[in-house]
């Protein structure tokens, strides 16, 4: 038995004990919310659980093989009673087409499921596509043309459909960027991600997706996406989603003047766009460094930097934004990651835009959603904001598929 393999049962035993301990401490915290000792114990116990989960992960990591490579899609049959969307054969290959995507949107709206074979095919193909893209993607908006940036969707499929109703379906003439956190929290995350991946396959050069902090294995297991995939499809597909999420680009640069990322800026004043291009993103997000900060950081009113209330990433002031923009010859940044009453917020003297596209977040926040429209006029990027209210959705509560242990937190 190898040294690494000996770690596996040890890690599992630690996890069982610490999760049981965490459950008991959480009950104490709920019963006595002002008990400082209980809160501190809870925080320390959660840290131990995460550390041991990491130990388990690195112990078996060398044994993992790609789900995409192990699939035998040809052996998956389409049952005779399946009446949902079907990939069309183009040049001998099953391909995502506009009629397929339009049928998929309506099919899922009726709470019907895409056949697992087609879902797997979409994931395998989108993994290949993302693997060929850089960590920082450059986007060019021509003179007189418009471009739409959306923020967090968080599994709110019916609000995603409303964006397309208000702003038109993605197309070559109507390009979009979705800026992370497509899944978790909302209980229609599978529908959201399959729709977005289909548009990416249909319009690879006019539809863009960036990784958010919720496109990670740990967050998906805690906040519902993994449970939803397991319920609607298979655990194996959940693992395949993890492989795909690892390959999502981390940021986009529009017309060499606007940087778009999910979270925010960095601890290091010397960070450049070239540094971002060099990030090896094919991994789970680390707890520190540029990749972590791109996914987790937030702006603040005060100048300078401070530790993040989230526990990872940083908070950064307007002076940090000014310095970064000047160093990289940029005009402003667009980020997401935070609920805003109007669905958007402009801070740091107009140089930091937050856009959040999930209205009435988790069916309880009462916020509007929004998207940003950029248009090139006389060589300059003009920006406009569209806010909207939540629309009705089927009676499935948010977090319906979340891990029961973490649902207590």
pLDDT tens by residue, 192-251:
999 999 999 999 999 999 999 999 999 999 999 999 999 999 999 999 999 999 999 999
Report the candidate in 394, 401, 315 with the shortest Cα–Cα distance to residue 157: 394
Spatial strand order of the sheet with 146-150 comes to 207-209, 176-178, 146-150, 369-377, 380-388
> Active-site residue 115, yes or no?
no
pTM of the complete model: 0.85
Mean pLDDT check: name the lowest of 30-44, 161-175, 267-281, 325-339: 30-44
Domain boundaries, the chain: 3-63, 127-408
Report the candidate in 216, 222, 217 with the shortest Cα–Cα distance to residue 404: 222
> How does residue 65 score in pLDDT terms, banded at 50, 70 and 90?
confident
Average pLDDT, the chain: 89
Tokens representing residue 342 in the block = 């109007």
| Average pLDDT rounded to a whole number, residues 33-60 | 56
pLDDT tens by residue, 391-403:
999 999 999 999 8
> How does residue 14 score in pLDDT terms, banded at 50, 70 and 90?
very low
127-408: CATH architecture = 4-Layer Sandwich (3.60)
Q: Which residue among 206, 214, 252, 337 is the active-site one?
A: 214
């Amino acid at each position: 038995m190898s040294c690494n393999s000996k770690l596996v049962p040890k890690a599992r035993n630690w996890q069982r004990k610490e999760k049981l301990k965490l459950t008991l401490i959480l009950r104490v915290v709920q019963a006595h919310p002002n008990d400082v000792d209980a809160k501190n114990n809870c925080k320390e116990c959660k840290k131990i659980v995460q550390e041991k989960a990491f130990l388990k992960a690195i112990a078996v990591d060398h044994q993992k093989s790609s789900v995409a490579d192990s699939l035998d899609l040809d052996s998956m049959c389409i049952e005779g009673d399946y009446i949902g969307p079907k990939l069309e054969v183009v040049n001998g290959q099953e391909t995502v087409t506009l009629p397929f995507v339009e049928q998929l949107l309506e099919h899922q709206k009726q709470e019907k499921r895409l056949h697992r074979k087609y879902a797997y095919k979409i994931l395998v193909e989108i993994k290949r596509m993302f693997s060929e893209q850089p960590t920082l993607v450059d986007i060019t908006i021509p003179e007189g043309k418009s471009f739409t940036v959306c923020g967090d969707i968080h599994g709110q499929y019916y609000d995603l459909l409303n964006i397309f109703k208000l702003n038109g379906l993605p197309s070559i003439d109507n390009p979009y960027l979705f800026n992370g956190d497509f899944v978790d929290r909302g209980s229609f995350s599978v529908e959201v991600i399959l729709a977005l991946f289909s548009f990416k396959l249909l319009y690879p050069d006019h539809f863009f997706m960036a990784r958010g902090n919720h496109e990670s294995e740990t967050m998906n297991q805690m906040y519902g996406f993994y449970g939803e995939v397991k319920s609607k499809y298979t655990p194996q597909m959940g693992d395949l989603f993890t492989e795909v999420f690892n390959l999502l680009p981390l940021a986009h640069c529009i017309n060499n003047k606007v940087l778009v990322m999910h979270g925010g800026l960095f601890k290091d004043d010397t960070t450049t766009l070239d540094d971002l291009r060099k990030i090896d993103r094919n991994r789970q997000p680390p707890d520190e460094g540029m990749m972590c900060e791109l996914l987790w950081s937030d702006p603040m009113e005060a100048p300078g930097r401070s530790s993040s209330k989230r526990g990872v990433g940083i908070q950064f002031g307007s002076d940090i934004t000014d310095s970064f923009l000047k160093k990289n010859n940029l005009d402003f940044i667009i980020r997401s990651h935070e609920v805003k009453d109007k669905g958007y917020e402009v801070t740091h003297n107009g140089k930091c835009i937050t856009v959040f596209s999930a209205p009435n977040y988790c069916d309880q926040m009462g916020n509007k959603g929004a998207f940003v429209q950029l248009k090139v006029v006389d060589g300059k990027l003009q920006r406009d904001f569209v806010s909207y209210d939540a629309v009705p959705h089927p009676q499935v509560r948010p977090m319906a598929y979340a891990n029961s242990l973490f649902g207590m937190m």
